[in-house]
Amino acid sequence: MPSGGTGSGGTGGANYGGGRFAHQNVDFKSNNTGGGGGSAYEKPKNIINALSEIQRYYVIESRSDDLPKEYFTLEQIWDFFKVGFKSGILEGLLFITLLPFLQTIYPSFKFFFLGDAVNEQEQMFFTIGSYTPIVITTIFMVYLSKYYEGGLTKRAIFALINGRSATFLIKGIGIYYLLNHIQSISLKDPNVIYSWIDFTQWIFNLFTKSQITTEAVYHYYYKFVIPALGDTANEILFSMIIFAFFPYLTVFYKGYVQKREKFKMQTEYENY
């Protein structure tokens, strides 16, 4: 007679997918965690939601063997990619704003208009300050490698990192060509500089006691800002490429360590 107890395809009468992938915390039919009564999948709205989902997948994979990576669907890959992309937009905007201002505009403004050079302590502070936001978020992405366990967590982590890296590369390349283009047309046509002065002269006057003339702003742009655009573009591009790809190294290393440990355990078991 049929039994209401544990069957071959379920636990306690509930069907969790059956076969060798059956697990009490995974419902493959409804694609959720926590068993048949678990909550349905919800799209992560931000980086914290995505991390929470990755942590759930980590717990599932650490307690189960050979879970199929297809459990993490294409829809979920796209959702995690978008979260990473949106996060990268904010990081990139902070970086491309802070770096030119702290390392080029303010030091040269202080020297040209205020007659005071930036000292070594200030320069160190500005360098650290311009990179701090992007370094912190990169460390967070590196932290995700802690939850690399198998196919599910690998897909989730890579989807998140891919989105972030995509926006970094797009923004880095775009800013590189934009700044070099501005530098080129500014050197060819002085009227471009004068068009900037109309929009920025009042900003300069906020930081000085006396009114700054149009000619002074013009010379400032030509002596300091325009020549620095090429170097700034290069630094932004190379920095964003480095910070885009660095998290991949930690994930690949974690995967390598896991494979090495599994191979070591298998070899010891076979030789036992």
Please tell me the number of Cα atoms within 13 Å of 153 on its side-chain side. 25
Residue 177 located in a structural domain: yes
Is residue 111 domain-resident?
yes
1 exposed, middle or buried (CB, 10 Å; 0-12, 13-18, 19+)? exposed
Statement: residue 129 has pLDDT above 50: yes
Q: Does any domain span residue 60?
A: no
Query: Does residue 32 belong to any structural domain of this protein?
Result: no
pLDDT reported for residue 19: 41
- Write out pLDDT tens, residues 89-128: 988 899 999 998 888 888 888 888 888 888 888 888 988 9
Q: What is the pLDDT of residue 174?
A: 95
Q: At 32, is the secondary structure helix, strand, or coil?
A: strand
The count of domains in the chain is 1
Q: What is the pLDDT of residue 195?
A: 78
Residue 236: predicted pLDDT: 93
DSSP string over 149-194: -SHHHHHHHHHHHHHHHHHHHHHHHHHHHHHHHHHHHHHH-THHHH
**Is residue 200 one of the residues assigned to a domain?**
yes
Query: How confident is the model over 14-67, as pLDDT tens digits?
Result: 444 444 344 444 544 444 444 444 446 678 888 889 988 888 888 888 887 667
Would 56 be classed as within a structural domain?
A: no
- Reported as a single tens digit per residue, the pLDDT across 201-225 is 778 777 777 788 888 888 888 888 8
Residue 270 lies in a domain: no
Q: Is residue 20 part of a domain?
A: no
Cα–Cα dist 76/66, whole Å: 20
Determine the average pLDDT of the residues in 147-161: 87
Provide the domain limits for residue 141.
71-249
**Distance spanning both ends of the chain, measured CA to CA:** 43
